Amino acid sequence: MRLGVLDVGSNTVHFLVVDAHRGGHPTPMNDSKTRLRLIEYLDEDDNISKTGVARLVDAVSEAADLAKATKCREVMALATSAVRDAANSDAVLEKVEKETGIALRVLSGEDEARMTFLAARRWFGWSAGRIVNLDIGGGSLELTNGEDELPEYAFSLPLGAGRLTHDWFKTDPPERKRINQLRDFIDAELEGPARELRAAGVPDLACATSKTFRTLARLTGAAPSSEGPRVERILTASGLRQVIAFISRMTAADRAELEGISSDRSHQVVAGALVAEASMRALGLESVKICPWALREGLILQRLDRDAGGDGKGS
């Protein structure tokens, strides 16, 4: 069947169209993104502004038109951290549905983590053993650990690259003092979850999903996306530390000139790198493998499981 996944994230509105069937590899047919940065439309009371809502409605409308044009049998529409955590979330969801006809399903942070873990498990397979997965979004960080299709432990923390950039960095490049303060903040937020994840067992495979990790791996010499998803890509802790020392002294405009950093992500890659570094350190990881599948693929796999008579929870 042809399925569409509309993912309203903190950075982008991403619409993915795939042809998929149970037991097969989902084949991408169309992939479109609208840069939105909803985090930047939050006011002092954590409401998404009227301008932000209007831009969101326009982006969802475009996705709805594309779904019709590509003849999607079904569209799974979801919203993550930026909408989930907004004070006026209910009003925003109501406005979007009224104007576009698309009802966004708000995923909890834990559900987001579980679906991303399912995608990583299916990508690497059972031979990977116990998996720990890290995912840095625009609004949140998801951490998971488990031996099955769904994780035994799943955490979602407000440590997204866009959110931290918005809240902590007021200069370009960021001040060294603020970088050090942010490092301390991230370490404190990670302390409890990291302790539980370490106690769950030593992973056989440490992996990472998300555009942030792919960008960081590319900056340390991993293969470009043009070489396809099956090329092994690894991000090492030592390589990441070198990248941070380099990019933290650059302006966003200069970072956008680096191969592997898109202009819409260059402003937040420093915060993302600091989260990646702290997460790997807290979990005792010297390296992570980059997984090309993440939340959207996890939702597609879950949907196909339901069609096959499963419980829709990855089993």
Q: Is residue 309 part of a domain?
A: no
The per-residue pLDDT for 21 is: 82
The per-residue pLDDT for 129 is: 97
Which amino acid, residue 290?
I
Report CA 266 to chain centroid distance, whole Å: 16
Q: Is residue 90 part of a domain?
A: yes
The per-residue pLDDT for 314 is: 45
Report CA 255 to chain centroid distance, whole Å: 21
Question: What's the domain count of the chain?
Answer: 2
State how far the Cα of 24 lies from the Cα of 232, in Å rounded to an integer.
21
Q: What is the DSSP string of 260-302?
A: T--TTTTTTHHHHHHHHHHHHHHTT-SEEEEPS--HHHHHHHH
Please report, in tens digits, the pLDDT of each residue of the chain (315 residues total): 899 999 998 889 999 999 988 777 888 899 999 988 888 898 889 999 999 999 999 999 999 999 999 999 999 999 998 899 999 999 999 999 999 999 999 999 999 999 999 999 999 999 999 999 999 999 999 999 999 999 999 999 999 999 999 999 999 999 999 999 999 999 999 999 999 999 998 999 999 999 999 999 999 999 999 999 999 999 999 999 999 999 999 999 999 999 889 888 899 999 999 999 999 999 999 999 999 999 999 999 999 888 765 554 543
159 touches 182 (CB < 8 A): no
Q: How many residues can be counted in the chain?
A: 315
Q: Is residue 273 part of a domain?
A: yes
The per-residue pLDDT for 268 is: 95
Q: Where are the beta strands (DSSP E) in 36-148?
A: 74-79, 105-106, 131-136, 141-146
State how far the Cα of 126 lies from the Cα of 109, in Å rounded to an integer.
25
State which of 107, 142, 161 marks the end of a domain. Answer: 107
Shared domain check, 149 and 37: no
Please state the pTM of the whole predicted model.
0.92
Which residues lie closer than 8 Å to 227 by C-beta, 6 or more apart?
Answer: none
Distances (CA, A) of 293 to 13, 50, 209, 281: 17, 33, 7, 23
Q: Is residue 315 part of a domain?
A: no
State how far the Cα of 95 lies from the Cα of 59, in Å rounded to an integer.
13
Q: Of the candidates 2, 18, 64, 10, which has an alpha carbon nearest to the alpha carbon of residue 35?
A: 10
Shared domain check, 289 and 198: yes
Shared domain check, 191 and 75: no
**At 66, which CATH number?**
3.30.420.40
Q: Is residue 307 part of a domain?
A: no
Range(s) of the domain holding residue 96: 2-107
Shared domain check, 134 and 55: no
Q: Where are the beta strands (DSSP E) in the chain?
A: 2-8, 12-19, 27-35, 74-79, 105-106, 131-136, 141-146, 153-157, 205-209, 234-236, 287-290
28 touches 16 (CB < 8 A): yes
**At 171, which CATH number?**
3.30.420.150
Can you tell me whether residue 96 is helix, strand or coil? Answer: helix
Tokens of 47: 């409401």
Tokens of 196: 């539980």
Q: Is residue 135 part of a domain?
A: yes
Sheet holding 131-136, edge to edge: 153-157, 141-146, 131-136, 205-209, 287-290, 234-236
Tokens of 311: 């419980």
